[in-house]
A and B are shown apart, each in its own frame.
Chain A
Amino acid sequence: MAGEPLIRLRGLRKSFGGLEVLKGISLDVQAGEVVSVIGASGSGKSTFLRCVNVLEMPSAGTMAFEDFAFDFEEGARRRPTAAQLRALRSRIGMVFQSYNLWPHMTVLENVVEAPIRVKGVPKAEAIAEAEALLARIGLAEKRHAYPARLSGGQQQRVAIVRALAMRPKLMLFDEVTSALDPELVGEVLSLMASLAAEGMTMLLVTHEIGFAREVSTRTLFFDGGVIAEDGPPREVLRDPKSDRLRQFLKRVLHEHAGDAAPVVPLGLAGELAGEP
C-alpha cells in the first residue's frame, strides 16, 4: 500500500440544489486495487463514482490523477477545463447500469469509435485491437451485429470492452449487473473478475455482496454521503462496525435469499441478482 496512489481525492463534496449528496469524501486508490462501493440507495455512492470522471462536477474538493490536479471549488484556478475533462475521461473507463451502447452502430463500430476519433489510433490498429478484445469475450462473430440483436449480458460485456479499448488506467462500474436478468449476471461478473485478476484498477458500485467479498481488495460502505466504513471486504462484510452496515447487509442478503440460484462464477452462491 506504499507509493503514490493512482488517484487521490480530498474533501469531495457534491450538492444538487440545496441537497448535499456527498459530504466530504477523501480516498486514495493504489494501482491494482479493486474497490467495491456498497450502500443504500441515496447514500451517494453512484454520485461519487460519477464525480471520479467528473460526469458530475463536484461542488468542492480536490483530485489528483496522473498528471491532473484539480480543485473543484467555484472559481478555483485549477478547476478543470473542458479539454482537460476530455483527456481525463479518455483515461478512465466507465460502464453503466443500462449499457448505453449506441444502437445505430455495430458492435465493432461501438468499440472503435472512441479509440479512433478521440485518441487518434489508426483505424486498422483500432479494429485489430477491438477484434482481439471481442474474441476474448467470445463475441467475435457478433462484431457486425447491431446491439439490439444481443442479449443484455452480451451488450454489457461489449460496453466493458468499449471502455477497455481506450486502454484506461482506471475502470468505474456503476451497478453494471442491476439491469440484467439473473441468469445473465454471471457472464458479466466473471469478465470483471478476470479484469481484476489481471491487475486492472477498479472502482465498482455494486449490490453483489458476494462478488464484492470474493473479488474486491477493499470495500467502502457509503452512508449519508460519507465513507462510513473502509477496509478489506472480509472484515467489513463479516464484522460490520456500525449498526447501519449490519442492517444494510441484512436487508440486502435477505432480499436476495429468495432468488433462484443463477449461474455463478467463482463459486459464489446466494446473494446475486441485483436490485431493480
Chain B
Amino acid sequence: MIGEWWAGFAPYVPGFLGASWLVLVLTLLSILVSWICGLAAALAKASRFAVLRRASGFYIWFIRGTPALIQIFIVYFGLPQFGLRLSPFVAGVLALGINGGAYIAEIVRAGLSAIPKGQLESAEALGMGRLHMMSRIILPQVFRVILPPVTNEAITMLKNTSLLSVITVVELTLYSQTIIATTFRPFEFYIATAVIYLAMTTILSQAAARLERHYARYS
C-alpha cells in the first residue's frame, strides 16, 4: 500500500523540492524587506520630527489592522491602476515585507526600551561614541531580547508565503493545488504539503532555540 502511494507521489518530488526552494527564497527576501521597513519605522517612531512619528504610527496601525491578503491584493492588483505593474514574485515579496515590517518595528522598539538607561550611561561615561555604544553595548543586548519574537515573525513569514498562491506565485501551496487538480488526491497532497511546511518551520525554531541557549549563558 505504501509502495502504491509512493508510486503516485514520486513523480512530483522534484516539483515539491522546487516549490519548497521557492518558499525559502520568498521567505528570505520578504524578511529582508521587512527588516528594512521595520528598522526605518522604529527609527521614525523614535524621531524628533512629529511627521515621521505620525507616519510610522499610521503604517503600523494600518498594517496590523488589515488582513495580509488584502495588502497583497492592493500591491498586486491595485498598484497597476497607477501604472506600477509588478511581477507576482516582486509584488509578493514587497507586500509580505511591508506587512512584516510593522511587526518588526514594534519588536525592535520594545527591545530597545528593554535595555536599562544605565547601560548607555556607563558606556557614555567611559568616552564611547554613539556608534561604538550601539554596536558593542546596546545591539548585542537587544538582539538577545528580541530573538524569540523575531523567530516567531520568521515562522509567520514562511507560512504567509502560501498567501502568494492567490496571485499566481507557484510556491508550495499553489503547486500542490495544481497537482491535486489532476490527481484528485487532496488529502494526501495537502498532508504532504503541510509536512513540508512543518519541516521548514521546525528547523527554523530549532536553530533559534539553539541560539537562545547560547545567549542564556550570561543571564
A interface residues, Cβ below 8 angstroms from B: 53, 55, 82, 86-94, 96, 98, 100-104, 113-114, 117-119, 146-148, 159, 162-163, 166
B119 interfacial contact with A, CB 8 Å: yes
B121 touches A86 (CB 8 A): no
**What 5 pairs between A and B have smallest CB-CB spacing?**
A90-B127, A100-B122, A146-B218, A114-B126, A100-B118
B141: interface (CB < 8 Å): yes
- Chain A residues lying within 8 Å of B136, measured Cβ to Cβ, are 113, 117
The one of A55, A82, A92, A104 in contact with B121, judged by C-beta atoms closer than 8 angstroms, is A55
Whether the pair B121, A96 counts as a contact (CB closer than 8 A) is: yes
Cross-chain contact B129 with A82 (CB below 8 angstroms)? yes
Chain A residues with CB under 8 A of B213: none
Chain B proximity of A109: nearest CB distance (Å): 10
Complex CA gap A55/B215 in Å reads 31
Residues of A within 8 A of B137 (CB): 102
Cβ-defined contact, A118 with B118, below 8 A: no
Docked-complex contact B219 and A162, CB < 8 angstroms: no
Given contacts A96-B118, A104-B215, A166-B127, 15 further A-B contacts (CB under 8 A): A55-B124, A86-B127, A88-B127, A89-B125, A89-B126, A93-B126, A96-B121, A96-B125, A100-B121, A102-B141, A103-B219, A104-B144, A146-B217, A146-B218, A166-B126
Contact of B119 among A89, A94, A102, A146 (CB under 8 A): A102
Which residues of the partner chain A approach B124 to less than 8 Å between Cβ atoms?
55, 89
A114 to B137, CA, bound (A): 11
Q: Are B128 and A86 in contact (CB under 8 A)?
A: yes
A-chain residues with CB within 8 Å of residue B121 when the two chains form the complex: 55, 96, 100
Contact status B122-A118, CB under 8 Å: no
Q: Answer yes or no: B149 CB below 8 A from chain A CBs.
A: no
Tell me if B132 is interfacial: C-beta within 8 Å of chain A.
yes
Cα distance A156–B191 in the bound complex, in angstroms: 58
> How far, in angstroms, from A87 to B123 measured CA to CA in the complex?
13
Chain A contacts for B118, CB-based, 8 A: 96, 98, 100
In the bound complex, residues from chain B placing their C-beta under 8 Å from that of A102 are: 119, 122-123, 137, 141
Greatest chain B CB density within 10 A among A82, A114, A146 is at A114
Q: Mark B110-144, 1 if CB is under 8 A from A, else 0.
A: 00000010110111111111001000110011001
- Contact present for A114 and B128 (CB under 8 Å): yes
A96 CB contacts on chain B under 8 angstroms: 118, 121-122, 125
Distance A88 CA – B127 CA, assembled complex (angstroms): 7
Q: Which one of A86, A88, A91, A159 contacts B122 once the chains associate, using CB atoms below 8 Å?
A: A159
Cβ < 8 Å to A, chain B residues 58-79: none
The CA of A88 and the CA of B124, in the complex, are separated in Å by: 11
Minimal Cβ-Cβ distance residue in A for B120 = A100
Chain A nearest CB, measured from B54 CB (Å): 24
Neighbouring A residues of B215 by C-beta, 8 Å: 104
The smallest C-beta distance from B216 to any residue of chain A, in angstroms, reads 11
Check if B127 sits within 8 Å of A118, measured CB to CB.
Answer: yes
User: A86, A87, A94, A104: which contacts B218 (Cβ < 8 A)?
Assistant: A104
Name the CB-closest residue of A to B132: A117
Contacts of B128 in A (CB 8 A): 86, 114, 117-118
| Most chain A CB within a 10 A radius of its CB, from B125, B128, B215 | B125
**Which of chain B's residues have a CB closer than 8 A to the CB of A93?**
125-126
Cα distance, A90 to B217, chains bound together (Å): 30
A162 surroundings in chain B (CB, below 8 A): 122, 126
CA–CA, A162 to B121, complex, Å? 14
CA distance A62 to B173 in the complex (A): 70
| Contact partners of A159 in chain B: CB under 8 A | 122
Contacts of B129 in A (CB 8 A): 82, 86
Bound CA–CA A146/B127 (angstroms): 23
Partner of A100, one of B119, B127, B132, B140: B119
Min CB–CB distance B166 → chain A (angstroms): 44
B173 to chain A, nearest CB (A): 40
Chain A residue with the shortest CB-CB distance to B128: A118
Rounded to whole Å, the gap between the CB of B195 and the closest CB of chain A is: 38
* Alpha-carbon distance A39/B76, docked complex (angstroms): 66
How many angstroms between the C-alpha atoms of A100 and B141 in the bound complex?
13
